[in-house]
Amino acid sequence: MRALITGITGFAGGHLAQILLDRGHEVFGVARDLGYSLNHLSQKVDPIIQDLQDARIVEELLTTIRPDAIYHLAGQAFVPTAWADPWDTFENNVRPQLYILQAIIKLNLKTRLLVVASNEVYGLVPPDELPVKEDTLMRPDNPYGVSKVAQDTLALQYHLSHDIDVLRVRAFNHIGPRQSPVFVSASFAKQIAEIEAGLRAPVIQVGNLEARRDFTDVVDVMRAYALLVEKGQSGEAYNVGTGRAYSIQYLLDVLLSYTTTPIDIRPDPDRMRPSDVPVIYADNSKLKRQTGWEPTIPFEESLRRVLEYWRTEVNKQQPAVN
């Protein structure tokens, strides 16, 4: 199978590339910038650096590769950035997908397209509607969520109107090595690693610690994507998450349990969001039923992997000692 990953140099893209290589797929990747290195892959994959907000570039890319499957991971994924510039996030997330869909039609490709939306499409879910099912009303409470609703419904519309083979993924929070430190687990882990190395004061700045989220290891999430492309039903939406919510306080406590360095915790008003869903977690029964997927990496082990990654990265910054 010829697989194209958009956003291959992002956090998730490199993990997905290795899973597809392990399955014997021919992997191609495109990204707007070099991002994270792909040197860890078992086979060489040279990312194509292009801007998918150009319809001509998208058409040329699909003409050249003619992929059997497209994993559309590219986009702006950080909620606070969407609050700061809503239109840029909307354009970043919707325009490339629209051009991909149009190119598939124009080139008459029989390509399976996996579109990655987010649990943010659901917004503020009442407690009696938890865990969240795929038919839960979408009521996003931030601009990023709105952009993901647009991606999700755009994919459905092209499936219904043009019979495009699409899969709509609503991914809940995923964590692992190489995630940007703007996200909570990587932020805390990076701060701990820098404190251990003596590069910052022994204080961690925190936002809302009471929020509870459904965290899944990025490797398990990418396994779900691969399984959906193999076994998912065209046009359908799928939640990808463990089905369990962990508080940010617990996440922090686990990371702190992996260090012997004394560390103080201080609230940071700048890390608070204009709106923050108290708790959300997935009903993943549809995904499990149709693909056989199960999460395999415990939450605590995922956090250990994140911290070890940042310890290695911080160590690289240390001056060599003669």
Q: What secondary structure does DSSP assign to 208-264, as a single string?
A: -SS-EE--EEHHHHHHHHHHHHHHPPTT-EEEES-S--EEHHHHHHHHHHT--S--E
Assess if residue 285 is contained within a domain: no
Query: Is there a single domain that holds both residue 141 and residue 199?
Result: no
Instruction: Please compute Rg for the chain using Cα positions.
Output: 20
Query: Is there a single domain that holds both residue 80 and residue 200?
Result: no
CATH code, domain with 261 = 3.90.25.10
Name the DSSP class of 241: S
Query: Is there a single domain that holds both residue 230 and residue 249?
Result: no
Query: Is there a single domain that holds both residue 154 and residue 201?
Result: no
Q: Structural domain of residue 209, as residue ranges?
A: 184-213+244-279+297-317
* Contact predicate 283/239, CB 8 Å: yes
CATH code, domain with 35 = 3.40.50.720
Query: Is there a single domain that holds both residue 235 and residue 249?
Result: no
Considering only CA atoms, which of 124, 128, 118 is closest in space to residue 141? Answer: 124
Provide the domain count of the chain.
2
Beta-bridged to residue 5, according to DSSP, are 29, 71
Give the C-alpha separation, 79 to 271, whole Å. Answer: 11
pTM above 0.85, yes or no: yes
**Quick one: how far is CA 203 from the chain centroid?**
28
Assess if residue 11 is contained within a domain: yes
Helix (H) or strand (E) holding 142: none
Give me the pLDDT at residue 207, please.
Answer: 87
Assess if residue 120 is contained within a domain: yes
Beta-bridged to residue 167, according to DSSP, are 114
* Contact predicate 178/240, CB 8 Å: no
Query: Is there a single domain that holds both residue 268 and residue 139?
Result: no
* Contact predicate 94/27, CB 8 Å: no
Cα–Cα distances (Å) from 170 to 96, 191, 278, in that order, read: 18, 29, 18
Helices 11-22 and 218-231 cross at an angle (nearest 10°) of: 50
Alpha carbons within 13 angstroms on the beta-carbon side of residue 217 total 18
Give me the pLDDT at residue 109, please.
Answer: 98
Beta-bridged to residue 70, according to DSSP, are 4, 113
Assess if residue 70 is contained within a domain: yes
* Contact predicate 166/156, CB 8 Å: yes
- Helix/strand/coil for 45: coil
Query: Is there a single domain that holds both residue 7 and residue 138?
Result: yes
Assess if residue 95 is contained within a domain: yes
* Contact predicate 181/175, CB 8 Å: no
Query: Is there a single domain that holds both residue 22 and residue 109?
Result: yes
* Contact predicate 176/218, CB 8 Å: yes
What is the chain's length?
A: 322
Assess if residue 322 is contained within a domain: no
Cα–Cα distances (Å) from 3 to 18, 25, 223, in that order, read: 12, 7, 14
Assess if residue 77 is contained within a domain: yes
Query: Is there a single domain that holds both residue 160 and residue 105?
Result: yes
Using the Cα atoms of residue 189, residue 194, residue 198 and residue 202 in order, give the sign of their dihedral.
Answer: negative
Query: Is there a single domain that holds both residue 126 and residue 228?
Result: yes
pLDDT by 10s per residue, the chain, length 322: 999 999 999 999 999 999 999 999 999 999 999 999 999 999 999 999 999 999 999 999 999 999 999 999 999 999 999 999 999 999 999 999 999 999 999 999 999 999 999 999 999 999 999 999 999 999 999 999 999 999 999 999 999 999 999 999 999 999 999 999 999 999 999 999 999 999 999 999 898 999 999 999 999 999 999 999 999 999 999 999 999 999 999 999 999 999 999 999 998 877 766 657 899 999 999 999 999 999 999 999 999 999 999 999 999 887 655 5
Using the Cα atoms of residue 88, residue 90, residue 95 and residue 96 in order, give the sign of their dihedral.
Answer: positive
Assess if residue 284 is contained within a domain: no
Query: Is there a single domain that holds both residue 252 and residue 233?
Result: no
* Contact predicate 113/173, CB 8 Å: no
Query: Is there a single domain that holds both residue 87 and residue 207?
Result: no
* Contact predicate 195/261, CB 8 Å: yes
* Contact predicate 3/28, CB 8 Å: yes
